[in-house]
Structure 1
Amino acid sequence: MNLQTLPGLFISHGSPMLALDPEQVGPALERLSFNLPKPQAIIVMSAHWESQALEVSTANRPETWHDFRGFPEELYRIRYPAAGNPALAEQLLFLLAEAGFQAHANSTRPRDHGVWMPLLHMYPQADIPVIEISLPKYFSAEKLYQLGQTLRSLRQQQILIIGSGSITHNLSTLAWHTPDAEVPHWATEFRQYVVQKLAHQDYEAVLDWENLPYIQQNHPSLEHLAPLFFAMGTGHRFNLVHSSFSMGSLGMDIYRFD
């Protein structure tokens, strides 16, 4: 089989409502999938699986987890029944151990919306195996970057690697009922700074997250930015795939790393 190298991706997965109202990012994800060779498998680190230790889902067919409340009933009926891949998960655990990462198998973890939400738009047939890996709370930005570097070689096996979070994520500032609300300056300036540094391959400036402009306004907690550090490690060359904002300050950027 002639396997093609796939990129690493950072995807801002947005509100769960994007499953019903895809706005601009749903079509962007769909176009992205059309422009890529079909993956043999997909590995996703989601902002919504924070853990004490690094974990890898080894489930054969994880449940679809609606890990949110207060949304329309229609949203809770959505399922993303893609299979897992226990054999690849074991390969992943071995690769991580060889690189000095202590990782644990988890056979019971359901799939959170940070995983199934973007894949619903990219691969709606749910016919590609998906493995989720956790986001250890104690990992530094540099260690997450090194984790991405460790998995980089899997791209050559036609495996798509995704960090799923959000380029900006401050729920207290969102205009929930105004999707096209004005974007605050602190969100645009933060996003522009990060993109500029990535475009110039100044990854160190992004990994130095404490000194990013307006970091507290954009990320009161770091879990939605952290998957970007992981995705950065998966490739050398940065490309901006999509940029938009939802509900004012919620950044919906998609980045590609080749």
Structure 2
Amino acid sequence: MSSSSTRLPAVFISHGSPMLTLEPDRPAHQFLRTAAALWPKPKAILAVSAHWETAQPAVGAVAQPETIHDFYGFPPALYRMHYNAPGTPQLAARIRDLLAEAGYAAALDAQRGLDHGAWSPLTLIYPDAEIPVLQLSIQSQRDPAHHLALGRALSALRDDGVLIMATGSMTHNLRLLDRSDSQPPAEWASAFAEWMAQKLAQRDDAALLDYRRQAPFAAQNHPTDEHLLPLYVALGAATPGQPAERIHASFAHGSLAMDSYSFA
């Protein structure tokens, strides 16, 4: 067991479009390029991506995960990108056991690789791809409280050199994006992101769990909430009562909030 002084945070990364990897002028790209300096180098990374949805929790247990290009209509350069980090089936089994102890029947998946919710930010944060990476699925038919409990069950991993990296989007309404990227941030998106920032700083977990009713423009920002559910895994893995730190805030395409958070 590592000492508490080297405990890794849990983080939430708004990963945005996979194009972010090819857009060095974007503030979020620049942030991710320097994000690794914000915490100690992990021994392994558990990515909790909005893009892996299963009925019950599943853990990737692949020795060499493939790079999944789970998107359409993008430039060929994106499809040529590969993130060749090793997996860690041994850690996958431990995560399954931790979830079982908390009452979750989690499965090991020996086939699934890394989707773009995991590899696109990691390409920028850890471009050398030498740190083992595995994924945990979300359950999009379940509520934030379910995902908070998943994170709570896995919080001990932070003491053993595992970076819990939840990856989704602070706002995610693709129908309302400004494709020209020429407009200032939409007021409805800014209001939601600022409400979340305030509640995360206050660690008002009750309000955060009830965001659908309490946050301004919640349904407009998240017509479905799979891109916010990973945040609750990071929140659950956090030290109770400790304020979250907003480590990045910017917008893309007028309404895509790229906020990222670190949880002590």
TM-score (norm 2): 0.94
CA distance in 1, matches of 2:211, 2:189: 15
SS at 1:233's partner residue?
A: helix
1:255 equivalent in alignment to 2:243: no
Shift in Å, 1:106: 0.4
Q: Percent identity?
A: 44
Unaligned runs of 5+ in 1: none
Which of 132, 135, 144 lines up with 1:129 in the alignment? 132
The equivalent of 2:250 in structure 1 is 244
Counterpart of 1:242, as a letter, is H
The equivalent of 1:6 in structure 2 is 8
CA distance in 2, matches of 1:49, 1:85: 18
1:28-57 alpha-carbon deviations (Å, 9 max, x no partner): 122220232110000011000011111000
Shift in Å, 1:166: 0.2
1:109-132 alpha-carbon deviations (Å, 9 max, x no partner): 121100001111110000000010
Which of 167, 181, 184 lines up with 2:183 in the alignment? 181
The equivalent of 1:21 in structure 2 is 23
Counterpart of 1:181, as a letter, is Q
CA distance in 2, matches of 1:2, 1:93: 21
Q: Is the 8 A contact 1:5 1:158 kept in 2?
A: yes
The equivalent of 1:214 in structure 2 is 217
The equivalent of 2:116 in structure 1 is 113
1:148 equivalent in alignment to 2:151: yes
The equivalent of 2:231 in structure 1 is 228
Aligned residues: 257
The equivalent of 1:86 in structure 2 is 89
CA distance in 2, matches of 1:21, 1:112: 19
With over 3 angstroms needed to count, the CA separation of the structure-2 counterparts of 1:2 and 1:230, relative to structure 1, is: closer
Counterpart of 1:120, as a letter, is T
SS at 1:160's partner residue?
A: strand
1:62 equivalent in alignment to 2:62: no
CA distance in 1, matches of 2:218, 2:2: 43
Which of 82, 97, 100 lines up with 1:97 in the alignment? 100
Shift in Å, 1:26: 1.8
The equivalent of 1:199 in structure 2 is 201
Q: Which moved more, 1:86-95 or 1:136-145?
A: 136-145
TM-score (norm 1): 0.97
Cα RMSD over matched residues?
A: 1.2
SS at 1:163's partner residue?
A: strand
Q: Is the 8 A contact 2:249 2:260 kept in 1?
A: yes
CA distance in 2, matches of 1:240, 1:29: 13
With over 3 angstroms needed to count, the CA separation of the structure-2 counterparts of 1:36 and 1:203, relative to structure 1, is: same
Q: Is the 8 A contact 2:88 2:134 kept in 1?
A: yes
Counterpart of 1:252, as a letter, is M
Shift in Å, 1:229: 1.1
With over 3 angstroms needed to count, the CA separation of the structure-2 counterparts of 1:222 and 1:129, relative to structure 1, is: same
Shift in Å, 1:2: 5.7
CA distance in 1, matches of 2:128, 2:112: 22
CA distance in 1, matches of 2:184, 2:38: 31
Unaligned runs of 5+ in 2: none
CA distance in 2, matches of 1:29, 1:20: 12
Give the 4+ runs in structure 1 shifted more than 3 A: none
SS at 1:240's partner residue?
A: strand
